[in-house]
């Protein structure tokens, strides 16, 4: 097997992992246009990657507080550092339905998110990656404990 074959096999594995990981992955450019949309995001939004790619995040998801999100994202772009949100601060970034049978009483998916700077070959941040974590079960357990 040649190095090119090995590289292509590893690339294929990498792409398979990105599409099937149990977290949302979204890559955005400086204008908040979607460049990558993985299977988690497709499964929960109903929007296929080919439908999402190239579209503006705020046009597809009007529930996102544009001013708040841009302020958070600009710190990632300018400071080249990560930013985080937790469901206690803001229950969700994307208003997805809760699809957990055990915690089905939640009206939406509680989410934590991470924004990661993505640098180009010159070392400047021109894209960010959003990682969306479903924390519905933990949020519901915390709510249950608080209500006892």
Domains and CATH numbers, the chain: 22-146 (3.30.450.20)
Tokens found for residue 76: 């990632």
Indicate if the pLDDT at residue 5 is higher than 70: no
What's the sign of the alpha-carbon dihedral 67, 138, 44, 115? positive
User: Which pLDDT does position 2 carry in this prediction?
Assistant: 65
Give the pLDDT of residue 58: 98
- Give dist(CA 122, CA 106) in Å, integer: 45
Starting from the edge strand earliest in sequence, which strands make up the sheet with 111-119, in order?
A: 34-37, 24-29, 125-134, 111-119, 83-85
- Spatial separation of the C-alpha atoms in residues 55 and 94, rounded to whole Å: 15
Rounded average pLDDT over 127-147 = 85
- Decide if 76 contacts 70 (C-beta within 8 A): no
Task: Indicate the range of 7-11, 87-91, 137-141 predicted with least confidence.
Answer: 7-11
Residues 100-117: pLDDT tens digits?
666 567 788 999 999 999
Determine how many CB atoms are found less than 10 A away from the CB of residue 73.
Answer: 19
Sorted by sequence, the CB contacts under 8 Å of residue 147 that are 6+ apart come out as none
Q: How far apart are CA 98 and CA 136, in angstroms?
A: 8
* pLDDT tens sequence across 18-60: 777 789 999 999 999 999 999 999 999 999 999 999 999 999 9
Q: What are phi and psi for residue 104, nearest 5 degrees?
A: -65, -10
């Amino acid at each position: 097997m040649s190095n090119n074959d090995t590289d292509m096999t590893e690339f294929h594995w990498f792409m398979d992992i990105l599409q099937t990981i149990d977290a949302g992955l979204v890559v955005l450019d400086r204008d908040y246009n979607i460049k990558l949309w993985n299977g988690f995001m497709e499964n929960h939004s109903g929007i296929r990657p080919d439908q999402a790619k190239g579209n503006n995040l705020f046009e597809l998801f009007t529930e996102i507080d544009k001013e708040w999100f841009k302020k958070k994202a600009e710190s990632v772009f300018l400071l080249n550092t990560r930013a985080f949100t937790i469901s206690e601060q803001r229950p969700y970034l994307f208003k997805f339905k809760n699809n957990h049978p055990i915690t089905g009483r939640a009206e939406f998916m509680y989410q934590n998110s991470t924004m990661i700077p993505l640098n180009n070959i010159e070392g400047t941040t021109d894209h960010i990656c959003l990682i969306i974590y479903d924390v519905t079960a933990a949020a519901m357990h915390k709510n249950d404990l608080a209500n006892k």
